[in-house]
Amino acid sequence: MMHQALFVDEIIRDVFEHCSDFEDTEFRRSLGRLSRCCRAWKEPALDRLWCRLSSLEPLLSLIPRLSDPSKPTPLAPLSPQDRAIFRSYASRVKHIRQGLGPRIDQLLSLIASCDGDATILPGVQTAQIMVAGGLYQHLPFILSPRLNQLDITTRSIDGESEASQAVARFLTQAIDIAPSLTSLTLRGLACQDLNRAVASMTNLRCLSLLLHGTLLPSTLAAIATFPNLEELRIHASCVERDAFTSSIIINSPLFPALRTFRIRGHPALMEVMLSKMEHSNISCLHLEIDGSNRSPTSAVPLLEIIGRTLSSSLQDLTIEHHLDLDEAEEIDTIPLDTKSNNICFTIDTLRPLAKTRYLRRFVLDSSLPPYLRDKDLKELLLQWPVLEHLDLGTHPALDSLAEKWMSEITLYGLVLVAKHSPQLKKLALPINPSTSGPKLDGLVGCGLQELSLGCPLPPDTRALAPVLSALFPVLVTLDGRGRHEDEWVGVMSGLDE
């Protein structure tokens, strides 16, 4: 006999929810069976089965004349019975991913011919839509008072295209119909109307704009005043500093609620934006630095502003800085064994970040790993006492440099890690393993679990394995970047002995 608790609606719904990490096909098949085996389970099982749809095909299958895409669709309206069945299942959908195609055109025409309402998903909360072809007018089918998360991708070669205009009209409608809409992602080209629509969505908490050079300075300035915006990702390479500055309100703090910020753009724009974030609460910052200046020293003013304005809040920092292709072609002419070249980050470049004492994660993604010596690595570790994840890169991004570039960090650098970063769990850095093994007397290892090392030379398997085992006794993963995979596998095997 089944336990009485399994007849309680809230309990069985919770059970179904915890089973959702099963393989999708198996889970959905099981839900279908469960909906038929017990009257008390029918509605909870059907609700969970129809909660998430990866396309509209399941809904189309409910309408006999649309169930077979190979057959022509009569224009006669749906019968009351077909319409009722369709509505009963469509109302259960809360999350949808769909590309707009000819089949949606047929479906919406049928539904609208019955009751004049083309909104087929009245309970939808999140929607991920791909807009292509000439069906942009059907976007409102996902409008719902409960809609809170929207992801739209348009495919067009013209920012003033019908697609961009349709998305602009749709978002204007959404402001009134979906007051709960707080998360928006847009990919594609944006016309001026779409820029204006985004600029008026002041209730957003999460916004991602990947608009391929069509983001307007005035739109970015308006977004900077959104009172509740907590997470922002933008591609702003097309926005010039002066154009942005002239669009903002003078002496007004920017992004008052922002906590997670990812931006691609020129350093000058980033500098003016971050400098105006008074009393900032940003904890996660990701910078993709554009510009033709190949010297990382150009980022020093930006890093100084970060150290000054985000010192008490920043916990996660990623910096991407890569050479342009034409510069990459010239890089072979630069002597990589000199300490004065300006193509690497150095301790002097990174020192302005010393004030970010609460940093837990730091990633530096550059064309060349930073030029650091053991003492420089020690300085970094001491300035970030609670660091849990440090990624300095392991090898040059350019294959032509991989075999001749050598790090100045020795095996002693790993001793410094174990000694000064007790909370570190993940580490990636370039290393020169050709030096003699460091002294380990009295050293207590740290809790490092994942280690990636980069070096053009093969490691000494017998010498390196005991060192790593002593320094990092709970190490789970060792990744040796380079052409000597077999030797690194041997090092890992030595750790297990």
Instruction: Write the pLDDT tens digit of every residue in 436-470.
Output: 666 666 677 789 999 999 887 777 777 788 888 88
pLDDT digits (tens, 9 = 90+) for 384-396: 999 999 999 988 8
pLDDT at 48: 76
Going by DSSP bridges, is the β-strand pair 316-321/284-289 parallel, antiparallel, or unpaired? parallel
Last residue in a domain, options 35, 51, 67: 51
Is residue 73 included in any domain, yes or no?
yes
pLDDT digits (tens, 9 = 90+) for 85-96: 888 888 889 998
Report, as an integer, the average pLDDT of 40-60: 76
Q: Decide if 159 contacts 187 (C-beta within 8 A).
A: no
Q: What's 219-277 look like in SS3?
A: HHHHHCCCCCCCEEEEECCCCCHHHHHCCCCCCCCCCCCCCEEEEEECHHHHHHHHHCC
pLDDT averaged over every residue in the chain:
81
More confident residue, 407 or 30: 407
pLDDT at 464: 83
User: Domain of 19?
Assistant: 1-51
Strand, helix or coil for residue 410? strand
Residue 62 and residue 122 share a domain? yes
pLDDT at 257 over 50: yes
Is residue 5 included in any domain, yes or no?
yes
pLDDT at 33: 57
Residue 58 and residue 46 share a domain? no
Kindly indicate the confidence band of residue 69, based on its pLDDT and cuts at 50, 70 and 90.
low
Is residue 103 included in any domain, yes or no?
yes
| Lowest-pLDDT choice from 265-269, 284-288, 323-327, 488-492 | 323-327
The domain total for the chain is: 2
pLDDT at 115 over 60: no
Is residue 61 included in any domain, yes or no?
yes
Residue type, 18: H
Is residue 58 included in any domain, yes or no?
yes
Residue 138 and residue 21 share a domain? no
Is residue 104 included in any domain, yes or no?
yes
Ranges assigned E (strand) in 3-122: 52-53, 95-99
- Range with top average pLDDT, 144-153, 431-440, 458-467: 144-153
Residue 113 and residue 174 share a domain? yes
Length of the chain: 497
Residue 157 and residue 75 share a domain? yes
Domain with residue 122: its CATH number is 3.80.10
Is the Cα torsion angle 59, 65, 70, 75 positive or negative in sign? negative
pLDDT at 303: 96
Going by DSSP bridges, is the β-strand pair 426-430/450-454 parallel, antiparallel, or unpaired? parallel
Residue 34 and residue 168 share a domain? no
Report, as an integer, the average pLDDT of 77-84: 78
Residue 25 and residue 108 share a domain? no
Residue 105 and residue 8 share a domain? no
Residue 59 and residue 47 share a domain? no
Kindly indicate the confidence band of residue 225, based on its pLDDT and cuts at 50, 70 and 90.
very high
pLDDT at 7: 47
pLDDT at 66 over 70: no
pLDDT at 192: 94
Is residue 254 included in any domain, yes or no?
no
More confident residue, 408 or 140: 408
Residues 6+ apart with CB under 8 A from 191: 159, 160, 161, 164, 165, 168, 214
Last residue in a domain, options 179, 209, 239: 209
Helices (H) and strands (E) in the chain, counts: 19, 15
pLDDT digits (tens, 9 = 90+) for 288-302: 998 656 688 889 999
Report, as an integer, the average pLDDT of 168-190: 94
CA-to-CA distance for 361 and 398, rounded, in angstroms? 25
Residue 167 and residue 46 share a domain? no
Percent of the chain with pLDDT over 90: 44
Is residue 408 included in any domain, yes or no?
no
Residues 6+ apart with CB under 8 A from 116: none
Residue 196 and residue 61 share a domain? yes
pLDDT at 100 over 80: no
| Lowest-pLDDT choice from 90-99, 254-263, 400-409, 460-469 | 400-409
